[in-house]
Amino acid sequence: MHLVEQHVIKRADPRYAAIDRAAFASKNLYYAANYELRQAFIFQGVSLSYPEMHQRMKDHEAYKALPAKVAQQVLRTLEKNWQSFFAAIGIWKADPSKFLGRPRLPRYKDKQKGRNLLIYTIQALSIPALRTSLICPSMLGIVVRTRQQNVQQVRIIPRIGFGPGNGQPRALRWSRYWSEQSGSASIRQAGLCPAPCQRAASEIHQPILQQASGGVAEPTGRDAHEPAPGAYHDAAHPAD
């Protein structure tokens, strides 16, 4: 059983700008890392592991723009999305009738409108602040009061589609949950796209600036029928 405490940070909130900048930085890292993964898979036919990706990205500007623990969680989230893609490929090969078409590679997030999930583990939260019922995420410069004493993880989830026509998120959902047994915590948001393993090909993508996933930009070119080197066409480039 998970207990949930959720906060919604709206555009008028003075903390909004700092959260939005961090969510944008998270998108940049997700985008750049996904580019590396796609290039390795398309042109070399290899799937990079998390340790390999961390080694490649740890000196990247986008990685350094976030606390190390938060940047690592961005890479782990991307790794899970690729694992879901490979699982979907396996199911599709066994029974294509379950899909509308061949599962597609994890997509990019929009360079400008995209925002991405922020996960702060206990190592990225101020312990002294938690003792006074305050949430102080590393490098974020904001404070949120909590009624809980045993918070182990905080996730900040950008939401898009509610702004005044400019594509920017109007509210950022901030919530956390913890297990009564283990004290572990995480957060989720209603309406998120489930793991893509069982989804039709046209629906297999990261959620648009919701849980984590920000707006997605479909790279030019189209997916071929087999996941072999050269089978995909990738014309996207990492965001700065």
Q: pLDDT tens string for the chain (240 positions)?
A: 567 788 888 888 999 999 999 999 999 999 999 999 999 999 999 999 999 999 999 999 999 999 999 999 999 999 999 999 999 999 999 999 999 999 999 999 999 999 999 999 999 999 999 999 999 999 999 999 998 878 888 989 887 644 444 445 455 555 554 433 333 323 333 222 223 333 332 222 222 222 222 332 333 333 333 334 334 555 555 544
In the chain, where are the structural domains located? 2-190+205-217
Q: What are the distances in angstroms from CA 108 to CA 37, 61, 176?
A: 11, 18, 26
Of the candidates 57, 160, 180, 184, which has an alpha carbon nearest to the alpha carbon of residue 110? 160
The model scores a pTM over 0.75: no
Provide the 3-class DSSP secondary structure of residue 103.
Answer: coil
Residue reference for tokens 């590679």:
105
Residue type, 152: Q
